[in-house]
Amino acid sequence: MRKSKIVLNHIRRMIPFLFIIISLALTLPWIDNCTSATNEEVVMKVNIKPGVNPEYLTLSEKIFLDFYGGEEKREESLSLLKQRCENESSNNSHACYNLAVLLFNLKRYDESLEFIQKAVEKSPEDLLYSSMLRTMAGMMNKPEKLELGKEGSMLANITRLEVACRNKNEEYALQLITQLKETKVLNSSLFRNGSFSDCLSSENKKIAEKEMQRPVVNYRELYYKEKALSDSFSGIWDVSYFLRKNSLENEKALNSRLTELWKNVRLAVKSGNGSKARGELRAFLQEIKEKKNSQKGFSSKYTAIERAAYLLIEQDDFFMKTRDLLQEF
């Protein structure tokens, strides 16, 4: 009897512990489901395709917010980017690039170089990725990392040349110049006033110039061409003579018929031939009318040119003796 009481008391004492054990047992499936859900969520994040879509933009925002949050969140964001970068089922070069940038921010340069190289391997045509790879390869003196693709050897040697110049290693620089002369990417101007101007001594510059072609690009012409293209009227008017501060009447070749017609108006006025000037102006205004109808997107610009022509004839001293041309408008 006494033993049974002792056992009963012992059982009573165990009841709270049994309750806890049973409760834990009942919650195990729920815990397992939570773990599975978390794993599924990670897999889903890894497989979201990059692009301008809400899912990817939201994920990218979260990754960067986590990176600049606490230490634990930062490592989670890096881990997710790494999984996305190394995921074989998707060619996610952008994840590799983002990871390289964030690792660079943490001054983990070796890892950063590894992942920017992966980005270039996945998307070799992307200039942003290849530019970062080349910058890092030069900074870390690892030009061999550029040996990718058909132009890899050339880029690696150019980077080696930059490093040699930075380290004042003229002998090695000359060797590289000899190797690079066949690529035709170097020209003598680079060593006179370009990025390699401080690389070689005067004597070695002369040697180097023998190994290279003279620059074939007319940078002055290229400047004017690019500047002209940036003008909002370049689509309908040849602005090159104005940018060069040349007289329109002296221009021999113009790439706009409308500009050519206005030139004819001025030439007729300059020669004092009023009737010819009137005929040329009519042709000019007719061209504007036709273009306004056929090129609706430029209608306001053609109207602006017509208005400018009117004001010039009305106010410019050049047209002082031919103000009667205003009757044609």
CATH of the domain at 59: 1.25.40.10
pLDDT tens digits, 284-296 = 999 999 998 888 8
Please tell me which residue, 188 or 94, carries the higher pLDDT value.
Answer: 94
In a domain? residue 240: yes
Tell me the one-letter amino acid at 271: S
Q: Give per-residue pLDDT as tens, 77-88.
A: 899 899 988 887
| 323 and 234 part of one domain | yes
Residue 51: predicted pLDDT: 66
Q: How far apart are CA 269 and CA 13, in angstroms?
A: 118
Whether 79 is covered by a domain: the verdict is yes
Contacts of 231 (CB under 8 A, 6+ apart): 239, 243
Residue linked to tokens 């170097």: 186
Closest CA to 320 of 271, 268, 284, 269: 269
d(CA 184, CA 78): 42
Average pLDDT for residues 233-239, to the nearest whole number? 86
Q: Are residues 230 and 306 in the same domain?
A: yes
In this structure, is residue 82 part of a structural domain?
Answer: yes
Exposure string of 234-273, with b = 16+ CB inside 10 Å and e = fewer, is bebbbbbbeeeeeebeeeeebebebbbbbbbbbebbeeee
Task: Measure the CA–CA gap between 125 and 109, rounded to whole angstroms.
Answer: 23
Final residue belonging to a domain, choices 212, 235, 263: 212
**Which of these, 162, 251, 153, lies nearest to 259 by C-alpha position?**
251
pLDDT of residue 314: 94
CA distance 119 to 126: 9
Question: Percentage of the chain surpassing pLDDT 70?
Answer: 74
206-215 pLDDT per residue, tens: 777 765 655 5
pLDDT digit string, tens, across residues 30-61: 334 444 335 445 455 666 776 667 887 888 88
User: Which is more confidently placed, 189 or 296?
Assistant: 296
Task: Provide the residue count of the chain.
Answer: 329
Q: Which residue has the higher pLDDT, 39 or 94?
A: 94
Same domain for 309 and 224?
yes
Domain count, the chain: 3
pLDDT for res 24: 33
Place of tokens 């070796």: 110
Note the pLDDT of residue 46: 63
Residue 66 has a pLDDT of 87
Contact 169, 199 (CB under 8 A): no
Q: Which amino acid is at 208?
A: A
Q: Tokens in use for 286?
A: 């007719």
Q: Are 216 and 189 in contact (CB under 8 A)?
A: no
Q: Which residue has the tokens 């790494």?
A: 82
Question: Can you give the pTM of this predicted structure?
Answer: 0.45
Query: Residue 104 is part of which domain span?
Result: 38-140
The answer to whether position 32 is within a domain reads no
Name 187's bridge partners: 213
- My answer on whether 161 and 232 are in the same domain is no
Residues 223 and 323 in one domain: yes
Q: What is the pLDDT of residues 129-180, one digit of tens each?
A: 888 888 888 888 887 777 665 556 777 777 888 888 888 888 888 788 777 7
Q: Does 191 map to a domain?
A: yes
Higher pLDDT, 203 or 25: 203
